[in-house]
Amino acid sequence: MTGTPEPSASGLLADIADVGRDRTRGGYSRHVFDTAELELREWFAGEARRRGLDLEQDRCGNLWAWWGAPGPDAVVTGSHLDSVPGGGAFDGPLGVVSALTAVDILRARGVTPAKPLGVVVFSEEEGGRFGVPCLGSRLLTGSLPAEKALRLRDPDGTTFADAVRGAGLDPERIGADPDFVGRIGRFVELHVEQGRGLIDLGGPVAVGSTVIAHGRWRLTFAGQGNHAGATPMDDRRDPMLPAAETVAAVRRIAASAPGTRATVGRLAANPGGTNVIASTVDLWLDARGPDVPSVVRDVESAARAAAEAEGCTVALSEESWGDEVVFDPALRDAVSAQLGGVPALPTGAGHDAAVLSAHVPAAMLYVRNPTGVSHAPEEFAEDSDVDAGAEALATVLSGLSA
Ligand code: GLV
Ligand code: MN
Ligand code: MN
Ligand code: MN
């Protein structure tokens, strides 16, 4: 069935508000190929069909809905439907509902784009399940080798290879697809703002200027697992000690490196019993800024010193890396001009648009978030700003696809 739904990004967002709610953590937990994310993929497919768009899945599991036959100068918009654990309602889905709504708005305005228009849903943008953010766009563009991705494991031990097989994809075909990427002439991602930038500027919409350099590392501390009651305090090699000291060192080191943001948001004691001295502790470091390599070096030496003092060892491995991105200035200025001159904002968050920008001119639109909070249930956007964002996106797409 085709039809022209009444354009409303806030209405579409309300339609998926019950999918993947996390009753334990609060907010949403929607991870690639889990029940909630698969339900959202189905929802997206239905919305695409309802609009008469042609749906396809690329070899890496990203979903594409086309208005017009895809060709080399397509204008593509979209975002992702997965979330961080206990994330907000807007990070990702806002860009998808705004893209669908922009199609509706263009149709309501009687606009038929001269260029093909695509709406994309990228897979595993947050890295919430397999640890590497923007997995779908990195794989499709070839910035992450398939062999490396297929070996990634989720916290339950399932490999990415098994997960893609389970979702009906062929692990042998996962990997770069330059022809597919070659269809994208320009890419625009709309996203909820993840800081206070737009609150301070007093407007509902901004255009993206830069994305901070960022990466993730895992530090594994190993000691001697033992009995919590039977082991004297002076006879322990407890990896939790150097892990705790490393958490404090991360804060100290980042605070003295200008422009740096470093976080330990995830830590796992193994085997994880209250009455068990851990045998190993895994700690994940997220570090972003102008000189991350030196920050990571300093963290590693602090971790090593703390580990040695406790008779433990530590091993560090990189899980992902993305260089700083400066969005195409000509496209950024064109997008801003189409909107009557909106401000340009840098971001400390990573995005598929940043991955794509190494291959095609890419731009971002941000929608005001009055709480300034993101990756948490308090992330928010007023309905009126959500709808203003979709209008802005439609205007931009209309200009770019003419
Ligand atoms: C993803 O949103 C990230 O920046 O971590
Ligand atoms: Mn996002
Ligand atoms: Mn995010
Ligand atoms: Mn992101």
CA distance 208 to 349: 11
- Residue 91, annotated as binding a ligand: yes
CATH fold of 9-212+324-400: Aminopeptidase (3.40.630)
Structure tokens given for 293 = 């390599």
CA distance 89 to 27: 7
From the CB of residue 259, how many other CB atoms can be counted at a distance below 10 Å? 12
CA distance 381 to 13: 11
The pLDDT value recorded for residue 1 is 42
Torsion of CA 170, 136, 179, 45, to 10 degrees: 80
Read off the pLDDT of each residue in 370-381 and give the average, rounded to a whole number: 98
Give me the DSSP letters along 359-388: TS-EEEEEE--TT---SSTT----HHHHHH
Give the residue from 361, 366, 293, 309 showing the smallest Cα distance to 332: 361
Asked if residue 3 has pLDDT above 70, the reply is: no
- Residue 235, annotated as binding a ligand: no
Ion ligand 3 residue ranges (Cβ < 5 Å): 91
Relative to the CA of 134, which ligand 1 atom is closest?
1
CB 98 within 8 A of CB 189: no
- Tens digits of residue pLDDT in 133-162: 999 999 999 999 999 999 999 999 999 999
Asked if residue 131 has pLDDT above 50, the reply is: yes
CB 386 within 8 A of CB 98: yes
Spacing, Cα 237 to ligand 3 middle (Å): 37
The reply to whether the predicted model has a pTM over 0.90 is: yes
CA distance 119 to 241: 48
The pLDDT value recorded for residue 167 is 95
Read off the pLDDT of each residue in 364-392 and give the average, rounded to a whole number: 98
Residue type, 195: G
Spacing, Cα 296 to ligand 3 middle (Å): 22
Please, which residues bridge with residue 364 across strands?
189
What residue segments make up the domains of the chain, in order of their start? 9-212+324-400, 214-322
Spacing, Cα 211 to ligand 2 middle (Å): 12
Relative to the CA of 374, which ligand 1 atom is closest?
2
**Which of 6-10, 113-117, 282-286 bottoms out in mean pLDDT, i.e. has the lowest?**
6-10
**What percent of the chain lies above the pLDDT cut of 70?**
99
**Domain 214-322 class?**
alpha beta
CA distance 28 to 53: 28
Residue of 80, 84, 320 best suited for mutating to test ligand 1, as the one with most atoms within 8 Å of CB:
84
Quick one: which ligand is closest to 375's CA?
Answer: 3
CB 209 within 8 A of CB 346: yes
The one-character DSSP state at 231 is S
- Residue 333, annotated as binding a ligand: no
- Residue 191, annotated as binding a ligand: yes
Relative to the CA of 126, which ligand 1 atom is closest?
1
Residue type, 285: L
Quick one: which ligand is closest to 348's CA?
Answer: 1
Please name the residue that has the structure tokens 């062999």: 147
- Tens digits of residue pLDDT in 298-330: 999 999 999 999 999 999 999 999 999 999 999
Quick one: which ligand is closest to 95's CA?
Answer: 2
Relative to the CA of 286, which ligand 1 atom is closest?
5
The pLDDT value recorded for residue 360 is 98
Spacing, Cα 310 to ligand 2 middle (Å): 39
- Residue 368, annotated as binding a ligand: no
Q: What's the N-to-C CA distance of the chain in angstroms?
A: 27
The pLDDT value recorded for residue 7 is 83
C-alpha neighbours within 13 Å on the C-beta side of residue 198: 26
Relative to the CA of 214, which ligand 1 atom is closest?
4
Ligand 1 neighbours by CB, cut-off 6 Å: 126, 133, 349-350
Read off the pLDDT of each residue in 16-31 and give the average, rounded to a whole number: 97
Asked if residue 2 has pLDDT above 90, the reply is: no
Please, which residues bridge with residue 188 across strands?
77, 363
Spacing, Cα 82 to ligand 4 middle (Å): 10
- Residue 288, annotated as binding a ligand: yes
- Residue 80, annotated as binding a ligand: yes
Spacing, Cα 340 to ligand 1 middle (Å): 29
Spacing, Cα 282 to ligand 3 middle (Å): 22
- Tens digits of residue pLDDT in 168-224: 999 999 999 999 999 999 999 999 999 999 998 889 999 999 999 999 999 999 999
- Tens digits of residue pLDDT in 70-102: 989 999 999 999 999 999 999 999 999 999 999
Asked if residue 233 has pLDDT above 80, the reply is: yes
Full strand arrangement of the beta sheet holding 214-222 = 261-270, 280-288, 214-222, 313-322
ipTM: 0.95
